[in-house]
Amino acid sequence: MTQSAVHTQSTNSVLMIRPGRFYPNPETAADNAFQRDADRGSDALTLAARNEFDAAVQTLRAAGVNVHVFEDTAEPEKPDAVFPNNWISMHDDGRIALFPMYSALRRRERRQDIVEELGKHYRVTEVIDYSAFEEEGCCLEGTGSLVFDHLNNIAYASLSNRSNPKVIERFANDFSYEPVTFASTGSNGQPIYHTNVMMCIGTAFAMVGLKMIGNKAERQQVRAHLEKTGKEIVELSADQIANFAGNALELHNTSGEKL
Over its length of 259 residues, how does the chain's per-residue pLDDT go in tens digits? Answer: 433 345 789 999 999 999 999 887 665 645 555 545 556 678 898 999 999 999 999 999 999 999 999 999 989 999 999 999 999 999 999 999 999 999 999 999 999 999 999 999 999 999 999 999 999 999 999 999 999 999 999 999 999 999 999 999 999 999 999 999 999 998 788 899 999 999 999 999 999 999 999 999 999 999 999 999 999 999 999 899 989 999 999 999 988 999 9
Q: Read off the pTM.
A: 0.92
pLDDT of res. 187: 79
- Is there a contact between 74 and 20 (Cβ–Cβ < 8 Å)? yes
pLDDT of res. 3: 39
Identify the sign of the CA torsion 112, 19, 147, 151. Answer: positive
Domain 13-242 is classified in which CATH homologous superfamily? Answer: L-arginine/glycine Amidinotransferase; Chain A (3.75.10.10)
pLDDT of res. 24: 76
pLDDT of res. 5: 46
pLDDT of res. 38: 55
Could you tell me which of 70, 134, 71, 69 has the C-alpha nearest to residue 99?
Answer: 134
Domain layout of the chain by residue ranges? 13-242
pLDDT of res. 31: 56
| Cα Rg of the chain (Å, integer) | 18
- Residue 142, amino acid: G
Q: How many helices (H) and strands (E) does the chain have?
A: 7, 11
Q: In whole angstroms, what is the distance from residue 158 CA to residue 135 CA?
A: 22
pLDDT of res. 35: 45
For 72-214, list the strands marked E by DSSP: 88-90, 95-98, 126-129, 146-149, 154-158, 178-182, 199-201, 205-208
